[in-house]
Amino acid sequence: MTSAESLTHLQPPRRADARRNYAQLIEAARGVFAEAGSDASLEEIARRAGVGIGTLYRHFPTRQALLEAVYVDEVEALSRSASELADLPPWDALAGWLRRYVSYATTKRALAEEMSASAGAETTVFQMCKGAIFAAGEPLLQRAQDAGVVRNDTNFTDIARMVFGIAAIPASDPEQIQRILDVALDGLRYQTAQDRPAE
C-alpha cells in the first residue's frame, strides 16, 4: 500500500446524502479554519455547511477528526495535482508543482499547527500525508535532475524544508512569498561553470 492509498481510511461515506453532507462539512471547515485558525467554531462550520451540529458530530466525532479530514483532503488534492503537470517540460512541471506546494503550505500552516498542538507532530495522519507529498514530489524532482535542469546535489527533503521555511515567512503580501520562491527556485537550477558568478 502506498502512502497516498493509505489516506483512504478517511474517505467519505457511501450514501449519496451522507456524502453530500460530508463534502459540505469539509468545504465549510476549510474556509472557517483558514479564517479563524484555532478559534474556529464547530457550530459555525455546521451552519455554513447547512447542516445541524448533530450531523457534524456523526461524521466527525471530535474536533481532531474534522481537522484530520480537512488536512488529508488538501494533501490528496496537492498530490493529485502532480500528475496534472506530467506533460510539461521537467523544469516547468517541478516549478509549477512547487508553487502549488508553497501556496498549500502557506494557507494550511494554522491547520497543521492546531493538529500538532492537539495530537503531537508525529501522528499517523501527519506521517501518511508526508509520505503522499514525497511520493508526488520526488518523481518530479528526479525527472528534472535526469533532464539536467536541476542540480544533483539536492533531494526532496531539502526542497520540502525550503518550501516550509518560505511558507513560514510572516508576509501579508502573497506576491512577496512568490518572489522569495522565485529566488529559491533559481538556486535549484543546474548551472554550468560559465553560468556561475565569478568569485
Name the more confident of 199 and 86. 86
Report field, pTM of the whole predicted structure over 0.85: no
Burial (CB < 10 A; 0-12, 13-18, 19+), residue 27, is middle
Element (H, E) at 79: helix 63-84
Among 6-10, 30-34, 100-104, 148-152, the range with the most confident prediction by mean pLDDT is: 148-152
Give the pLDDT confidence of 149-167 residue by residue, as tens digits: 999 999 999 999 998 888 8
CA separation for the pair 64, 171 (Å, rounded): 28
- Percent of the chain scoring above 70 in pLDDT: 78
For the chain, residues classed under CATH 1.10.357.10 are: 63-190
Q: Which grid cell is 182?
A: 522565485
| Nearest in space to 70 (alpha carbons), one of 35, 108, 97, 40 | 108
Query: Is the pLDDT confidence value at 177 over 90?
Result: no
* Residue ranges of the chain that CATH labels 1.10.10.60: 10-61
CATH 1.10.357.10, domain 63-190, yes or no = yes
Contact 102, 177 (CB under 8 A): yes
Is 10-61 a CATH 1.10.10.60 domain?
Answer: yes
On the 0-12 / 13-18 / 19+ scale of CB atoms within 10 A, 55 is: middle
Q: What is the pLDDT of residues 139-151, one digit of tens each?
A: 999 999 999 999 9
- Mean pLDDT, rounded, for 104-124: 65
Instruction: For residues 110 and 38, give the distance between their C-alpha atoms in angstroms, rounded to a whole number.
Output: 7
pLDDT at 39 over 90: no
Question: Mean per-residue pLDDT for 172-197?
Answer: 76
